[in-house]
Chain A
Amino acid sequence: MELLHNLATGFGVAMTPLNLLFALVGALVGTLIGVLPGIGPIATIAMLLPLTFHLEPTSGIIMLAGIFYGAQYGGSTSAILVNLPGETSSVVTCIDGHQMARQGRAGTALAVAALGSFFAGCMSTALIAAFAPPLALVGQSFGAPEYFSLMVFGLIAAVVLAHGSVIKAVAMIVLGLLIGLVGTDGQTGGVRFTFGITQLSDGIDVAILAIGLFGISEIITNLSEAEEERSILAQKITRLWPTREDFRRAWPAALRGTTLGSLLGVLPGGGAMLSSFAAYALEKKVSKTPSEFGRGAVEGVAGPESANNAGAQTSFIPMLTLGLPSNAVMALMIGALTIHGIQPGPQVMTERPTMFWGLVVSMWIGNLMLLVINLPLIGVWVQLLKVPYRFLYLAILLFCGVGVYTVNNSPAAVLLAALFGVAGYVFMKLDCEPAPLILGFVLGPLMEDNLRRALRISGGDPTIFIERRISLALLIATLLLLLILILPFIRKKRQEAYQSEG
C-alpha cells in the first residue's frame, strides 16, 4: 500500500504542468546534447545551474535529471551511428551497435536501444518506489574491502568482453590499468607518470580516452578505406524497425540488463559505471551464439542499454540518501540541491517526500517522453549516414574536439585525444579491442585505491578481504567466473593434444 501511496505522491508532483514542462525541456536538451557529442551534460548543467537558483528545488532537479538521462539516451545514438561514445556507459553500445549500423541495421539498433531503455526505466522506477529504503542500506554496507573485491570481479569479467584473443584482451586491460595510474596518488599525494606536465596531474578523463580510442580512430580507419566501399555501406540501409526475430532475442536481454543494472546502480561510486560492461559480458556468456557478439548481435545492444539506463535511475538512491555521486553529473546535482539548502541524507525520503517521489515519477515520465520524441526521429538519424563521409567526418571531428575540450576546458585534452586516436588506429590494425582497455582504465585506479585503503584500515592484514562477508562472496564469485573462463580453454587444448596424437 505504501508503494501506491508513494507513487501517488510522486504523480501529484510530477504531473503538474510546470514540472511536466521542465521534464520535457530537460529531456529535449539532454537528447540534443547527447546526440551532438560536442557538448556534454556537465557543461550544460553547469551553465543552467544559476537558472535553478530561482526555481523550486523539485522543478530544478527534475530538469537537471532530464538532461542527465536524455544525454545518456542521445549518447547511444551517436555511439551507434558514428562509433562515438560520449561517456563510459555508451562505450559498450559502440561494440555491437555500430556493427549493426555498418550492416545497414542502424534503425533496428536505435529502436532496440530506445525500447530497451524505456523498459529499464519503467522497471527501475517501480523498483525504487517499492524498495528504496532497504536499497539505501546496501550502499552503506560497502566499504573499501567490498569495493576492491567488486572491482576484481569486474576485471575478470572484462576478459569476456573481448571476442578475439584472450591474451590480447588481457594485454589491453593491463595497458588500461597503466594509463589509469597517471596522475596524483590518492594515498600519498605524489604524482605519477606525468612527465612534469601539470595538465596530467589529475589523471586522464575517461571521455578523452573513449573519444580518442573509438571516435577518432574510427575516422582514421574510414578515411583509409576507398570511397566506394563506404558509399555501399550507406546505401544498404533497409529496415528502420526491428523484426520479430530481433524482438524475440532482445527482450530477455533487456530483462537481464535491467536487473543487473538496477542492482549495480545502487552501489555508490562505480556501480552504475560497471553496469553496461557487466550486462554485455552476461549476454555473451548466456548466448547460444557468442561468436555473433562484436559483429552486430542485437542482444549486445539491448542488454547494456537497458542496464545503463536502469543503473542511471537507481544511482539516484545513493546520491539522494548518502550524498554519494556516481559520476560528475550527479556531483553537480548535489551542488544544485545544496544551493537550496537540501542536504542529501538518509532522511531525504521522509523529510522531502514530494521532492523524492516527484523526481522518481518524473524520471518515468521523462523516459516516456524520450521514447515519443526519439522513435520518429530514428528515420532522420539514419538519413545522416547518407551524408557523404567527406563532409560527415569533418563535423564528427569538430564535435569530438569541442567535446573533449569542454570536459575540463583544457586544450591539452584535445591533443591527448588526438594521440589516443592514433593509438586506437594502431590497436585496430593489430586486432586489439579498446573496450577492455577502457574497463581496465576505469576499474584500475578504483581497485588500487580501495586495496590500499582496505589494508590501511586493517593495519596491513590481508584477511580483511575474507573476513567481510560481502567481500568473500564476491571473491568466490570471481573464482567461479575464472573457472568458467578457463575450462573450455583447457578442454580445447586437450582435444588438440588428442588430435595430434591420433
Chain B
Amino acid sequence: MRTFRAVLLCVVGLILGGVEARAQSAAYPDKPVKILVPYAPGGATDIVARVIGEQMRLILGQAVVVENKPGANGIIAVEEMARAKADGHTLLVGNVTTNAIAPVLYRKRYKINYDTDVVPVQRLVDIPAFLLVTTTNFPPTTVAELIDFAKKNPGKVRYGTVGAGSYPHYDMAYFAKRAGDLNMIAIHNKAGASGVINDMVTGDTQTAFLNVASTAAMVRAGKIKPLAVVNHQRLPEHPDVPTMKEVGYPEVGTLAWQALFAPAGTPNEVLETLARASVAAMEAPAAQEIFKKQNFNIVPNKSLDEAKTWLTGEMAAWKKIADEVKIETAE
C-alpha cells in the first residue's frame, strides 16, 4: 500500500510539474519541438543534436524529438525544415556540409531558395581537425617536409577523403594549391573517417585532413601522425602540434561546425528564445562533459544578426574556395 501511495504521489508530482513548466512558457513552445538531423544516427551532428535536444527539453519544458532524415548532402532534411510551419516547432541541426557547402555547390538541386527560406538561429560547436600523415613507409614528419616530398615526387602522394566534393577533399586540394600547385592524387573512401584512416594505415594513402576526435586512437597508437591542427589554438593534449596558422596556411582547413537552423519567417521572439535555450543547453554540465571529451569547441553567436552575418561569411568563403580549387562535381 505504501509503495502504491508513493507511486501515486510521483505521478501527481510529474503531472503538476508538467503543468507548471507549461504555464511558465505559455506562448512557445506549446507542443513537442522536432529537431531534424540530416544524417543517420551516431555521427557528430546527430550526437550534438541529441545532447542539445536532451538539455533543451529541460529548459523549454517540452519534449524535444530528434528525427534523422539522412541523404542528398542534407538537402532532404533542409527542404523539409524550410517547408515546415515557421513557428519554432520544427528545427534543424546542420553542419558545414549541409548548410554552407551544399547550398554553394549544388544550388540547382534545391527546390527551395536556401538564402531566403532558411535562417541560422545559433552556431553551436566547431570541431578541430588534424592534417595527418601515415607512418607506414612515409618519411615526412612536418608540414614543410610533406610539401617538399610532394614537390619531389609529383603524383606519388595520395590523400584520403570521405567523398568527392567533401570538405576534406576541398581542404587538401586547397592546401595543395596554396603550397605551390602540388600534384597529389585524391582517393575517396565512402566508409567515412575510419575508412580513410584504414587506407593510411595500410599505406594506400599517405595524408589526409580528418577531425581530431575520430583520429585520436590511431594517433596514440603511432599509426598516423598529426603535422598541424586546424583550430583556434593548439590542443592541450597535443601541445607540440602547431596550428595551420603557425605553419603559414591560416586559410587552409575546415573547422567543421554544427549550428541550429529554423524556417525563415519564424517570429523573432521565438528565435530569441531558441538562441538563448541552445546556449544554456550547451553550457549545462552534462553537455559540456560530452563535448569536452570529443574536443568540440563551444562557439555561440552573440545575437541573431551575428549568426546571419557569420553564415553569409561562411558561404562566401566556400564560394571563393570552390572557385579557386575547381573540383569537378556534377551539378
Q: Which residues of A contact B (CB under 8 A)?
A: 42, 45-46, 49-50, 53, 139-144, 184-191, 198-199, 201-202, 268-269, 322-325, 328, 331-336, 338-341, 343-348, 408-410, 449, 453, 456-457, 459
Q: Are B217 and A409 closer than 8 Å at their CB atoms?
A: no
Provide the bound-state CA to CA distance between A50 and B199, in Å: 32
B19 at the interface (CB under 8 A from A): no
Which of chain B's residues have a CB closer than 8 A to the CB of A453? 187-189, 204
Q: Are A343 and B216 closer than 8 Å at their CB atoms?
A: yes
Provide the bound-state CA to CA distance between A198 and B111, in Å: 10
Q: Tell me whether A268 and B198 are in contact in the complex, defined as CB-CB below 8 angstroms, given that A198-B76, A335-B42, A339-B47 are known contacts.
A: yes
Provide the bound-state CA to CA distance between A459 and B330, in Å: 23
Q: Are A324 and B191 closer than 8 Å at their CB atoms?
A: yes
Residue of B nearest to A325 (CB): B194
Which of chain B's residues have a CB closer than 8 A to the CB of A332? 41-42
Chain A interface: which of B62-70, B173-181, B259-267?
A: B62-70
Residue of A nearest to B111 (CB): A198
Which of chain A's residues have a CB closer than 8 A to the CB of B286? 53
Task: Give 16 A-B pairs besides A142-B202, A143-B199, A324-B194 with Cβ atoms closer than 8 angstroms.
Answer: A46-B68, A188-B164, A190-B329, A322-B198, A323-B194, A323-B217, A323-B218, A324-B198, A332-B41, A333-B42, A338-B293, A346-B223, A408-B69, A410-B69, A449-B190, A456-B158
Chain B: minimal CB distance from A138 (Å): 12
B140 at the interface (CB under 8 A from A): no
Chain B: minimal CB distance from A110 (Å): 31
Q: Are A140 and B202 closer than 8 Å at their CB atoms?
A: yes
Interface centre among B51, B72, B193 (most CB of A within 10 A): B72
Q: Are A408 and B68 closer than 8 Å at their CB atoms?
A: yes
Q: Tell me whether A188 and B50 are in contact in the complex, defined as CB-CB below 8 angstroms, given that A53-B290, A323-B214 are known contacts.
A: no
Chain A: minimal CB distance from B1 (Å): 27
- Total A-B Cβ pairs within 8 A: 157
Which of chain A's residues have a CB closer than 8 A to the CB of B193? 323
Residue in B69, B186, B202 whose CB lies within 8 Å of A409: B69
Chain A: minimal CB distance from B114 (Å): 14
Can you name 14 A-B residue pairings with CB atoms under 8 Å?
Answer: A49-B50, A50-B50, A189-B164, A189-B330, A198-B72, A268-B198, A334-B42, A334-B194, A338-B293, A339-B47, A343-B213, A347-B220, A456-B185, A459-B155
Q: Are A53 and B54 closer than 8 Å at their CB atoms?
A: yes
Provide the bound-state CA to CA distance between A255 and B117, in Å: 59
Residue of B nearest to A446 (CB): B190
Q: Are B50 and A42 closer than 8 Å at their CB atoms?
A: no
Residue of A nearest to B105 (CB): A189
Q: Are A328 and B40 closer than 8 Å at their CB atoms?
A: yes
Residue of A nearest to B203 (CB): A143
Q: Are B204 and A344 closer than 8 Å at their CB atoms?
A: no
Provide the bound-state CA to CA distance between A333 and B40, in Å: 12
Which of chain A's residues have a CB closer than 8 A to the CB of B50? 49-50
Q: Are A345 and B218 closer than 8 Å at their CB atoms?
A: yes
Q: Are B202 and A45 closer than 8 Å at their CB atoms?
A: no
Chain A: minimal CB distance from B40 (Å): 6
Q: Are A143 and B42 closer than 8 Å at their CB atoms?
A: no
Q: Which residues of B contact A (CB under 8 A)?
A: 40-43, 46-47, 50-51, 53-54, 67-72, 75-76, 79, 109, 111, 155, 158, 163-165, 185-191, 193-195, 197-199, 201-202, 204-205, 213-214, 216-218, 220-221, 223, 286, 290, 293-294, 328-330
Provide the bound-state CA to CA distance between A456 and B205, in Å: 11
Q: Are A408 and B42 closer than 8 Å at their CB atoms?
A: no
Which of chain A's residues have a CB closer than 8 A to the CB of B329? 188-190
Residue of A nearest to B50 (CB): A50
Provide the bound-state CA to CA distance between A347 and B185, in Å: 31
Q: Tell me whether A341 and B293 are in contact in the complex, defined as CB-CB below 8 angstroms, given that A42-B40, A198-B75, A323-B214 are known contacts.
A: yes
Which of chain B's residues have a CB closer than 8 A to the CB of A323? 193-194, 197, 214, 217-218
Chain B: minimal CB distance from A42 (Å): 7
Chain B: minimal CB distance from A437 (Å): 22
Which of chain A's residues have a CB closer than 8 A to the CB of B41? 42, 45-46, 49, 332, 335
| Top 9 A-B residue pairs of the complex, sorted by shortest distance between their CB atoms | A345-B217, A335-B42, A190-B330, A341-B293, A46-B41, A189-B164, A343-B217, A332-B42, A323-B194
Residue of B nearest to A412 (CB): B76
Provide the bound-state CA to CA distance between A315 and B51, in Å: 28
Chain B: minimal CB distance from A245 (Å): 45
Which of chain A's residues have a CB closer than 8 A to the CB of B293? 338-341
Residue in B187, B214, B217 whose CB lies within 8 Å of A457: B187
Which of chain A's residues have a CB closer than 8 A to the CB of B46? 46, 335
Residue of A nearest to B292 (CB): A341
Residue in A186, A325, A339 whose CB lies within 8 Å of B290: A339
Chain A: minimal CB distance from B191 (Å): 6
Q: Are A335 and B43 closer than 8 Å at their CB atoms?
A: yes
Q: Tell me whether A141 and B202 are in contact in the complex, defined as CB-CB below 8 angstroms, given that A186-B163, A341-B294, A343-B213 are known contacts.
A: yes
Which of chain B's residues have a CB closer than 8 A to the CB of A456? 158, 185-187
Provide the bound-state CA to CA distance between A202 and B158, in Å: 26
Q: Are A269 and B40 closer than 8 Å at their CB atoms?
A: no
Which of chain A's residues have a CB closer than 8 A to the CB of B218? 323, 345-346
Which of chain A's residues have a CB closer than 8 A to the CB of B195? 269, 324
Q: Are A186 and B188 closer than 8 Å at their CB atoms?
A: yes
Which of chain B's residues have a CB closer than 8 A to the CB of A198? 71-72, 75-76, 79, 109, 111
Q: Are B187 and A189 closer than 8 Å at their CB atoms?
A: no
Q: Are B330 and A408 closer than 8 Å at their CB atoms?
A: no
